[in-house]
Amino acid sequence: MGKAKRTRKFAEVKRMINPKDMRLKQNQKKADDAKKKEEEKQINHVQREASNMFFKYNTALGPPYHVIVDTNFINFSLQNKLELVRGMMDCLYAKCIPCITDCVLAELEKLGPKYRIALRVARDPRFERLPCTHKGTYADDCIVQRVNQHRCYIVATCDKDLKRRIRKIPGVPIMFIVNHKYTIERLPDAYGAPKPTGK
């Protein structure tokens, strides 16, 4: 038998795999991760309601009230010449224990000598200190996290963004300053609470 004729292939190049080919392990891993993320988005995570919330009314709130004070609340109180503890008691007609977190103190210290009076007020022995375990000194996140964990606090703030965030958490009243006096939102029994208008 004769030899089979072989045709010579010209310009033959070694074929390279496309870097976007799905057969590569990295690309498979990326695709799997993307799939998992999509599945997680589709699952609705419903936050469990706190046990002390009964018909959306917070039963854990009662005198003596524990009030978490924000940085700007102290500053606005000084600008409006309001004494913190007395003003709170006049608003709620009950004993109030102002609580201050390490983050709020750190923020006041960062603000410098201009706010030294506010810092002196914050270091008042009547104020209860709440230690923080997280990193950083951003007080808003700290307050929201603490209020989410324990619904036994009233939050005193004049910050619009923080108020908006706290309004999303049911059963947490907000104390703020209006017309040179303290008023409270979402605590119907309080003296300073705005009265519902309409029929």
Domains and CATH numbers, the chain: 59-185 (3.40.50.1010)
| pLDDT at position 24 | 75
Average pLDDT over residues 5-18: 66
* Highest mean pLDDT, choosing among 44-53, 124-133, 185-194: 124-133
Q: How many Å apart are CA 4 and CA 8, to the nearest integer?
A: 13
| pLDDT greater at residue 55 or residue 68 | 68
What is the bridge-based pairing of β-strands 174-178 and 96-101? unpaired
Average pLDDT over residues 19-28: 75
- Between CA 132 and CA 190, with CA 64 as vertex, the angle to 5 degrees is 110
* 3-class SS of residue 136: coil
pTM: 0.71
Average pLDDT over residues 15-23: 71
| pLDDT at position 45 | 61
Indicate whether 198 pLDDT > 60.
no
Query: Contact at 8 Å (CB) between 97 and 67?
Result: yes
| pLDDT at position 6 | 67
Average pLDDT over residues 16-21: 72
| pLDDT at position 7 | 66
